[in-house]
Structure 1
Amino acid sequence: MSATLLCVQEDREIGRLYSEALEAEGYEVLCARDGRSALDILARQNPSFVLLDVYLPRQDGFEILAEMRMRPETKSLPVLLVAEGDVTDDVVRRARKLGAVGVESSPMRLDRLVANVAAHLKTEGREISIGGSIPGRGCLREVPVPELLRALHVDASTGVLLLSHGRKKKAVEFREGWPVSVKSNLVSECFGNYLIEKGRCTQLQLDESVERMRAGEGLQGEILVAMEALDEEGVIEALEDHALEKLLEIFSWRDGRFEFRPGTRIQRGSSVGVAGHPSMLIVEGVRRHASLKLIDRYFAAHLDAFLVPCADQQERLSDVGLSASESSWLRGLDGSVTLGALLEEPEEIRRLVFGLISIEVLGIEASPGDWRGTQAAARAAEGGTKAPSFDGKPDEALRSELAKLASAMEDEDPYGVLGVPSTASDDEIREAYARLAKQAHPDRFHGASSSVRELASRVFDRVSRAHAAIATAEGRKTWAAERSRGRRAAAIEDEGRRALQAETEFQRGEKLVAQRDYEGALLCFGRAMEHFPSEGEYRSHYGWCLYLCHPDNEVMLGEALEHCREGLKLAKDREKPYLLLGRLYKAMGRVGAAKKMFSRAVEIRPQCVEAMRELRIMSMRRDKNKGVLKRIFRR
């Protein structure tokens, strides 16, 4: 299923309705209000479908479509035309001549719009599958929620999982198998109702925040902070808890439908944040919401089967986190427990066992298994919810740790990257790889900022490529032959090397900014840009640092603004470019533009305390100014 659509609609309200309907189906929607903007978007992006208004200002839809057909990259792009009022024969004829897939009267019924788009984007001759064993769409009775989420994690799937249960509909976005965002159509699950239910704010405070939000004063969380109903940390905690509850509620669905759309994203969803490893979320969902009748029915269907540990279960068990009673029960297992005997255990234990079976820590066999490894793992996993895998370190410490690794790998061959001699055996190479992979695996940094996760991915990719090259005797022989003949992929190695050099320079620049050595930092950020010009965050930091070096120079301010804007274009999915551009706008006195940037940074990463603090300061100043004006007018 294609990920991105372009909606070109002059009427803002109709365009909004179309976009929301398509986003609810899991598509990413780009919007334009005139033909020129549409063509600019098509020059930068590659949408898989275009919804094009016929009656646009300046250039109508037919002119835009004709220009699209002249471009090689959009020559065969499916385009559905929409025309206000009745669709005449002349409109249909012209549409066919230009290769449109159809013409519809506008405003179009939303269900018809969704069906039209789905029909034209349907994957031809191939059904999407998850992990090779689960279909991309189906029934939750046949594929229960725990099994579905486990398959998405094992397959490291990226995309949106659409779920429906009666009138309930939810969408969960996954990135590399981790749930990162959730969206629901239930009014009862809105953020305000959650705050009231948990006693985190009063109804009066909620009503005031809704009024101010409708007046355009910002996001609800920002407004509650400005009202001092919650502090920044309280809002972040509430947002993450709310998203987690919204996600885990799907474990109570015993039937319904699901569909996975790879490559798509959710717009304006609730960020799940650092709730834990996907395995922990599955077990927690079973603990809180799974049907106990369904669990007992499963045990009753395998009365005489023995509960046994699965292979590699020690690592997976460490991802879960166990209460003292759960750990104690697991440590007491001796291999003689059958599923029939579990029916006599407390509800807490039955739910735990079913959750561990769901994530393949435990299995069932006709004969007993060896529990010694599981007993040790249970002891290590005790302590309730597992802390984030990066041990709560701040981003600066994580960056520094990864930068040291990256620096040590610069200009090294595969043996140097893994830190082994050229005479190393298969076992020595495997041990070195396991040590470095554990240190730099992206899963360890899941809850860190996007820039830290990207740096971890680069380091891990370098380690993985080095291991793949020399893991076996045959591989080492091939690598040596290629090296002697000069056939190695020099370009790829050079790109990786430049990326790591750029990150090292960026690290130095950040440290110099903290020391207020802006001139030195500017040189570092400049070198980072030279090494890796496509990294938007480097360009944004360069622009902000350029302003710090020359705060009173209008020419430099203009150049700084261009760098920050360009950095944002290159890294639209990161919070830092929005934060830095917001600060630059704030320094220029453009308060409205600054607020939009800070708000967007918070939308991308609710844990961005710097942006939340900027918004709070702006709100406090606005409230203070309102008070001054009231006193003036009273006089």
Structure 2
Amino acid sequence: MFPTPAQVLKQREGALSETPFPLLLHALAVEERTCTLELKVRQREKRITFEDGAPVASSSNLLHETLGKFLVEKGKLSEVDYQKALAESVSTDVPLGGLVVQKGLISPFDLYKQMQANMAMKLLDCFRWTDARFRLIADIEPPDTSVRMNTSQLILTGVTNVMPFDEVATHFAFTDEQRFAQVPGIEGPKLSAKDARLFQSLRFRPTFSELMERSGMDTDATLRRLYAFCVLGLADFAEEVDKRPAPAAVGSGVQQALVPPPPLAPALTPLPGTLETVTAAPSGLPFSDDDDAVKNALLSAFLSHRSQDPFDLLAVPENVQPVALRKAFLALSDKFSPLRFQTADLKEKAEGLLVAYARAYGALSEVEQAALWRKRRQAAREKKTSTGRPSTAEQFRIRTDLLDASTQFDEAMKRLKATNHSGAFEYFEYACDIDPKPLYKAYRAWARYLMKPEAHGKLALQELQEVLKQEPGCEEAWFFTGEVSRGEGQWAQAEDAYRKAFKINPKNRQYVDLVQETMKRVKR
């Protein structure tokens, strides 16, 4: 059905129109590649860092995707605090995330959750970059912080909600008679009730039309989910599944050696006056996963550990002696021991820290490695002293390298107000290219219509319907739908659109007049 992961990754560069983004993601995950994926389309650029096949970091030249702007957008940070933290981050070379935590503007736990959401937004946006060029770069720059994403979940969500339907249909061809089936033995993502219903329907080896009927979904929803399942290797054509060797059942055809059970450890003698045996207690008290202080301490350490060298990580001086080094390592290992956590997510973070502490201890325990790290620290200090604070020109370049959708939108609105409809459309297009917000897309459709009302009415209505499907509460989209429908002579549709706009914003009395006017037209 699709090329194998190894075949997909034979090409070091290419076009996403030929190698779709979900296929590329899956190949990197299966092959467990550590690399950087670079995407470019027109003026937009992204770089995604993969470690062992999983996305762990992403950067772009889109302003709304930066962590600071994302925190402002989500109401976690005020614009004033963001600007202050950004200026301090540029001047001190301290990551903005670390600064806002230091200043108490957000807790480490909340910051990590927002970083996860920010990372997901960046990666999901790539599913609509269908005309981008990609390049795989073997060398990677280790990110300061690591937010590991679940590739399977990412592919399912991206294909289901973001990837253009036309692209899904283009890359997923089959005949009406072909049947689909589950592929046994493949571990997949967590499924919603809706997705699980469709996946379970594959047990009956249906055709596509039968699958739609069994799942109760329309063509769009069914095709998207089926494509995602096939990319993930969870489903395939029934005839292809039959060709695969059946997974061996436990004990079938395999003679298992009988191994005598290990002798039971002798029970300890109960203490006088007790009914329970004495068990060895773990050192230290186990933390509660619901303890906010514990979670924040763990996440704070986890977020910063990748940007620290062994000395900083273990909080020891450069002239640390072996005994003190060992004590520091054991203390940190015990403080965030994975045994103290039950939640899989927190346990994973604790395990990551334990590995980092062990590597740091190993590096500083060797004389040559410790000397090398001292030289690196000295070189970094000298570079920092000689470089000094970035110049005004450098700071300005850092800011203007980012593409800001809101700036493009504001310029488009100025041109729209000046009745420069083609100029407005151009800048609305820029804004949508950078950040496809429903509001931006609604105005783009409206500007398209105003350029040539006699030719663009049908297309504008289609675009507005797509916007309303994505965001039913977009007042402007309903108003523009009413205006375009009226221009097309579709008075009943115009009346309905005006009513819905009025329902969203009853303070705008203009809608009342428009409804009354269209009602008269409908009665005629």
What TM-score results when the alignment is normalised by the length of structure 2?
0.46
Q: Which has the higher contact order (CA 8 A, sep 6+)?
A: 2
Q: Kindly indicate which of the two structures has a greater share of residues assigned to strand.
A: 1
Which structure's CA Rg is the greater one? 2
